[in-house]
Structure 1
Amino acid sequence: MVEIFLEGVAKSFLLNGTSLPVLDNVSLQVLEGEFVSLIGPSGCGKSTLFNIICGLTAPDRGRVLLGDQYGVPAGEVVAYMPQKDLLLPWRTVLDNVILARRAVGRDRIAVQHEARELMPLFGLAGFENCYPAELSGGMRQRAALMRTVLARRRVLLLDEPLGALDAITRTRMQQWLLKVWNNFKQAVLFVTHDIDEAIFLSDRVYVLTPRPARVCMHLPVRLPRPRRAELFTAPDFLALKRKIMCALQVK
C-alpha cells in the first residue's frame, strides 16, 4: 500500500514582491512499513515539502495522496516530529508523551498506562516524572519521538530529529531508532543532511537538488537488516555513499 504519493509538486513563495521557487516538480512515494530518507542541501525545501504533506501549506501544483486516497486529512495518516523536540517545559515526560493522544480525547488513565509500558523501549524508564530541563539531549529526542509514535498514525515524518546531537550520541540513536521502527513498523519519511545516516537507516533514499528542489536521484538501499555499526565501512555501503555524493554535486 502507498502511504504517501507526491507527483509533480511545486511551490513558490513571495519574497519582497518577487516569486521565490522552492520546490520544482517533486515526485516521490513511501510504501507501507518503509523507511525512506530525503537528503539535500540546506534550504533546498525539505521542510516545505513536509509542510505540504502535513497539509500546513498548499502546493501551487501537483498531486498529494495520503493513504492511497484523495482528500484524506493529513492528521489521520501522518504524525510530524520537527527538528526541535518542542517538549512543554512545564509538563513531565509522561504528560508530554501522551499529548497527541489526549488532544484527540483519549482517556488520560488509559494513555498513561500505555505510555508507562513503552518507557523502557524508549530509554525513559524511571524518568516519567522528570521535566524536560532535567533530561539530556538524547533523552529529549527520545521523548519527542515517543510522543510522535504514540499518536498512532501510519506514517511518521521526522525532520532531522538527530541533527543537534553529538556524534557518539547520534550513532547510538540511529541504532535505537531502527529498533523502535522495527517494533512498530510505521512508514517513515526522514529528513537528514547526513549521507551515512540516510543510507544506514533507509530502504530508499531520495536526493534533492539545491533550491528549487527537484529529485535528482532515487536510490534503493539493498543492505541487509538488522544493520550494525560495522556496515559504515562495508564496500556496498561506501559505493552507495559515492553515488549520493556525486548526485549532490549536480547543479
Structure 2
Amino acid sequence: MTLEILLEDVAKSYRMNGVSLPVLDGVSLQVEEKEFVSLIGPSGCGKSTLFNIICGLTEPDRGRVLLGGRAGVRAGEAVSYMPQKDLLLPWRTVLDNVVLARRATREDSRAVKKEAMELMPLFGLSGFENSYPAELSGGMRQRAALMRTVLARRRVLLLDEPFGALDAITRNRMQQWLLQVWDNFRQAVLFVTHDIDEAIFLADRVYVLTPRPARVCLHLNIDLPRPRQVEMVTTERFLALKKQIMRALQYGAG
C-alpha cells in the first residue's frame, strides 16, 4: 500500500504580539492509498494549520511531510483541497466552476467539459450545468465544490468540514452520497469534522486531536463493514467507538 500522506512529528508555532503561540506539537499521522481517514478535534486546535502544511502553504517548524510515498512530490501534484466554504465563483456557471482546476492546467477545454458533463448525474447536478451558484441550494453548492475537487484528479482529497454549514437532514444525505462518490473514484481522503458520528460513519480510521497545541491523543480503527448504512449509528459497536472518541476528547481537553 502506498502512503499518500505521512506526517512525522510535525510542529508549528506563530508569533502573535511578540509572543510564540504553539499550534501543533508533534503531530504524526498517515493516510494510505484509497483510504478514508477522519480528523476530529476541538475548534481552534490547529486542523486548518495542518491542512495548510500538507498543501504546502505553510512550512512546519519541525517534522517531516511526505506525499505520494516519497520525498520531492509537490502538494499541487498530489493534493486537491476543498475548504468548508464552497468558494464557487458567482459569475460562472456550475459547469465552468467545476472545470476550473483542470482549465488551469491548460488542458483541452472541450475534453474537460465533456468529462464533467458525463459526471453531472453522479454528483446530482444533471440539468443544472448552466445554472449559477446563487440559484443552487446549499447541498447542491457543496456537490459542485466537491465535483471540482474530484475532477482535479489528484491522488488525495483534503476535505475541511464540507458539510458543517448544512442542516442535519441534508448533512446525513450528503454523507451517504459522499461515500458513493468515494467508492467510484477511491482517492485517498483526509476529512476534517467536528461531528463524532460523521467521523465514524465515513472513515476507515479516525485521529483525535487535543486542544491547541494539537497532539494526537487517539488513533482508532473503524471496524464497521462497508457499505455503510445509516442504521449503523444505533448499533452497539458504533456507540462503543463513539464512546472512545468522546473520552479521548474529554481527556485531551483536560
**AA matched with 2:96:** D
Corresponding residue of 1:195: 196
Q: Which amino acid counterpart does residue 31 of structure 1 have in structure 2?
A: E
2:162 aligned residue: 161
Name the structure 2 match of 1:2: 3
- 1:117 to 2:123 alignment: no
1: CA distance between counterparts of 2:142 and 2:17? 36
Q: Deviations over 1:120-164 (max 9, x none)?
A: 000000000000000000000000000000000000000000000
The aligned residue for residue 78 of structure 2 is 77
Cross-structure match for 1:52: 53
Unaligned runs of at least 5 residues, structure 1 = none
Q: How does 1:24-103 map to 2 (within 5 A)?
A: 24-103=25-104
Measure, in 1, the Cα distance between the counterparts of 2:89 and 2:229: 34
SS in 2 for 1:95: helix
- Cα distance in 2 for partners of 1:9, 1:48 equals 11
Q: How many residues align?
A: 251
Superposition map of 1:168-247 within 5 A = 168-247=169-248
Provide the C-alpha distance between the structure 1 equivalents of 2:109 and 2:71, rounded to a whole number of angstroms.
33
Deviation at 1:36, TM superposition (A): 0.1
- Distance in 1, matches of 2:72 and 2:58, equals 15
Shift of 1:42: 0.2
Deviation at 1:210, TM superposition (A): 0.2
2:142 is aligned with what amino acid? Q
Runs of 4+ residues deviating >2 angstroms:
none
Q: Report the equivalent of 1:147.
A: 148
Equivalent-residue separation in structure 2 for 1:173 and 1:43 (angstroms): 25
CA distance in 2, matches of 1:17, 1:90: 42
CA distance in 1, matches of 2:84, 2:19: 28
Secondary structure of the residue aligned to 2:81 is strand
Structure 2 Cα separation of the partners of residues 108 and 91 of structure 1: 15
Distance 2:151 2:55 in 1: 17
The residue type paired with residue 202 of structure 1 is A
Mapped partners of 1:56, 1:164: distance in 2: 25
**Counterpart residue type for residue 100 of structure 1:** A
Gaps of 5+ in 2: none
Q: Tell me the CA shift for residue 77 of structure 1.
A: 0.4
Secondary structure (helix, strand or coil) at the match of 2:12 reads strand
1:32, 1:222 → 2: CA distance? 18
1:71 CA displacement: 1.7
In structure 2, C-alpha distance between the alignment counterparts of 1:237 and 1:149, rounded to whole Å: 29
* Percentage of identical aligned residues: 80
